[in-house]
Structure 1
Amino acid sequence: MTSEPAMTGLPRERSTGSVRGHAHAVVAVGLTLAVLLAGWALLADPTASGSAAMAGTLLLGTAGWAVGSVVVHPNAVRMAYGVTGVALLVLVTGLPGSLTAAADAGVLGYANANAALVEAAVAGLLVAAWWVTGRERQRLLAGCAVLTVVAFATGSRAGGFACALLMLTWWLVPHRGPAFWRALSAAVLVLGPATTVTLAATHEPGTSSVATSLLSEARVSLWSDALDLAAREPVTGIGAGDFAQESPVARSDPDLRWAHSAPLQVLAELGLVGLTLLAGLVAWMVWRLGRLSVFLAVLALQPMVDYVLSFAVVVAMYGVVLGAAATTAARLERAAAHHRD
């Protein structure tokens, strides 16, 4: 698998004050949205059981983005290996349980969450592959292939397929411009949650359907509960972390304490205000990531139907690799413009 151009050999950039000012303004928009969302998690219902935890997780992801965007140049390979090391350390710490599909698998207590960390590692290696050529790039891509096998070994087919999809999109990215990838990513990020809402709204408990067969009856029932709770407190939500106590399905089994959908979890717990802030933040990320927004779309597939973003370490690692991807995407566009000239 090969792809060009790498980041080596680019001419020295000439940054004017106006360009720097525009870049800082764009970054400020994303930071403001992230801080507002974290603040809303605290303010919507200060007495909620998970308000501090949700706010902290959001800020941790924001910090991860900032770190990744700064350290990727000139340390892209080190950054990628660092993320991979964290992911593997989490897995090894939980052995032998981490490589199983059991509900208590690994140190995160959930096989899909372990696989999500592996996805972050694969994304990090692929981002680093844009900055190098030759054997260094080949080693990075080989590492992605090995980690894809590891993701399947955790018992998470979704995680394994996501890793494979990340590798495929890495190969396809140079063949289309940023407008195409932004549009595709936006479509995925809108249609995914819209589909879960539709399935939840039309779900009738106890009935069998294609959705319940593929996704499980419990998952679709949790989505339905999330909509019911959102209707009860549409503006502010029921409070961060309170889904586990308020959802009848969640109360029936500790393993079902989350809504198994990040957008529906936010809608139920933080209301329309929280969902609007989240949508704005995601839209900003799509714009900032340019052609590499497809990485965001792939990494978001699992959180749309699962609760992997409830783990702070997963959010932090996603933040690091996506921040690194944003810086890389900007350099890709400058490289493409240089080659056109």
Structure 2
Amino acid sequence: MLRLQRTLAASKRAYHDLATLPGSRPVVSSGPPGYSAVSGHRVTVFGCTGFLGRYLVSKLGKMGTQVIVPYREEDEARIFKPMGDLGQIVRMEWDIRDENMIAECLRHSDTVYNLVGRDYETKNFDFRSTNAVGPGRIAKIAAECGVSQFIQVSHLDASKTSPSKFYQAKAEGEELVKEAFPTATIVRPGPLFGYEDKLLTNIAVWPIWWQLNNGETKIRPVHVLDVAQALANLLASPQYSRTLNLPGPSTLTYEYLLELVSSVTLNPPSRAPVLPKAVALALSKVAQSVWWPALSPDEVTRRYINDSDAPGDWDAVGVQPAEIESHALTYLRRYRSAENFVRPTVFPARPAVVSPLTRIC
């Protein structure tokens, strides 16, 4: 009986259930909070099959939001079906080069997230076409279709003057998005860690590539779930025409991360020599001949670039970012041997951080 009373009470709509978005588009929420609710928002998440995108779709689905998930491969889109109630997850095939398909994916949405990006080049997509031209095209079509809110996910180190082509393309993408959609929100997260990341798990497997620059490069890693929650919070508390920096709470070095991974996995530190930059660049060019994504020359360049020291804007998104040590065991325990699987973890001492951060060319 009590559950029935709560359900009936939650089903009554009130004035606060109605919100008006820019362009006079109404959003009406209904139902109890949670997975089976109806938030009234219809959202398109481009780049949803990526590392961050999967967590964002899950967060939005739990809020009762109808999410359109554009995909390129059917197998990658299957994971989204249980992330929302019946009819709340809408899968649509798309191509970033086809404007008609883009328009069809966002035609009925009030908010568009663009997480499309690639940190390595392929024969079909270079850095600029994926990280700059593509986002600009999506933003232009979103403006033409009357989308109320556009959120572009960039990178903390995006800069037109960066020696990295990836960071240059990210900066150009921000400019093209703002040109096409002036009220767009730019979100700049730091390097992400979590399940299936390219940071902690990669350090555990290939530590030699993280010893470049003697491990002195400074990094500000941030938990992927914190960034996903911050992006989801922008749906209810939009930050129009603003650039939000979302770095990790601490500035660390690759040397410390190597020690951290070694202490958590209880495996001895790598004895591989530190490769000179010229040798690493030559090896990375050879590695590009394989069919799977491997270390690229631009990634070698990025291993010598310190993360930006821009202050974080976490208060604006209502999230308190977690330290990397609080989650390291969760993601690295699988690299322990059977006899060490349940042993306690002793983290290494934090390094002294030199401020301000400077770029190393």
For the aligned pair, the TM-score class normalised by the smaller chain equals under 0.3
Between structures 1 and 2, the one with greater helix share: 1
Structure showing the higher strand proportion among its residues: 2
The structure having more radius of gyration, on CA atoms, is 2
Q: TM-score, normalised by structure 1?
A: 0.27
Choose between structure 1 and 2 for higher RCO, CA contacts under 8 A separated by at least 6 residues: 1
- Please report the TM-score for the alignment, with normalisation by the length of structure 2: 0.26
